[in-house]
Amino acid sequence: MTDHELDAAGIHDPALRAAYTRCRGLNARHGRTYFLATRLLPVGRRPAVHALYGFARRADDIVDDLDTPATPGERARALLDLEVQLEAGLRGSRAAEPVIRALADTAARYGIDHRHFTDFLSSMRSDLTVGGYASYEELGRYMHGSAAVIGLQMLPVLGTVVAREEAAPHAAALGIAFQLTNFLRDVGEDLDRGRLYLPAELLSAHGVDRERFEWSRSTGMPDSRITEVLRAAAAHNRAVYRTALPGIAMLAPVSRPCIRTAFVLYSGILDAIEADGYAVLHRRAVVPRRRRAAVALDGLVRAVAVRTVRRRRADAVEAVRSDGVSRLRTPGAPAPVREEAV
DSSP state of 251: B
pLDDT of residue 32: 77
CA distances from 38 to 33, 46, 107, 154, 292 (A): 9, 6, 18, 11, 14
Please name which of 214, 323, 229, 290 lies closest in space to residue 335, comparing C-alpha atoms.
323
Q: What pLDDT is recorded for position 312?
A: 61
Q: What is the pTM of this model?
A: 0.85
Q: What average pLDDT does range 193-210 have in this prediction?
A: 96
Q: Name the pLDDT band for 69 (thresholds 50, 70, 90).
A: confident
Is the distance from CB of 47 to CB of 21 less than 8 angstroms? no
Mean pLDDT value of segment 282-305: 68
Mean pLDDT of 69-81: 91
Q: Is the pLDDT of residue 334 over 50?
A: no
Neighbours of 109 (CB within 10 A): 16
With 70 as the cut, is the pLDDT of residue 75 above it? yes
* CA nearest to 31, candidates 179, 174, 173, 153: 179
- Tens of pLDDT, residue by residue over 125-168, are 999 999 999 999 999 999 999 999 999 999 999 999 999 999 99
d(C-alpha 149, C-alpha 153), whole Å: 6
pLDDT at residue 206, rounded to an integer: 97
Tell me the pLDDT tens digit for each residue of 76-107: 999 999 999 999 999 999 888 999 999 999 99
In single-letter form, the type of residue at position 38 comes to T
Higher pLDDT among residues 204 and 332, named by residue: 204
Closest CA to 297 of 267, 257, 268, 256: 257
Provide the sign of the torsion angle of the four alpha carbons 170, 296, 283, 226, taken in this order: positive
Triad 18, 19, 25: Cα angle to 5°? 85
Task: State the pLDDT at residue 342.
Answer: 27
Span 11-18, average pLDDT: 95
Q: What amino acid is encoded at 60 in this protein?
A: D
Q: What is the mean pLDDT of residues 254-259?
A: 92
Sign of CA dihedral 56, 248, 34, 127: positive
CA distance 31 to 25: 10
| Integer Cα distance of 109 and 94 in angstroms | 16
Please state the rounded mean pLDDT for residues 308-326.
Answer: 57
| Average model confidence (pLDDT) across the chain | 87
Percent of the chain past pLDDT 90, that is, above it, reads 73
**pLDDT tens readout for residues 21-39:** 999 999 998 887 778 888 8
Q: Which residues of 69-83 are buried (b: 16+ CB within 10 A; e: fewer)?
A: eeeeeebbebbeebb
C-alpha closest to that of 102 among 161, 55, 148: 55
Other beta carbons less than 10 A from residue 283's beta carbon: 10
Q: What's the confidence (pLDDT) of residue 327?
A: 47
Indicate the range of 5-14, 66-75, 248-257 predicted with least confidence: 66-75
What is the model's pLDDT at position 68? Answer: 75
Confidence of residue 341 (pLDDT cuts 50, 70, 90): very low
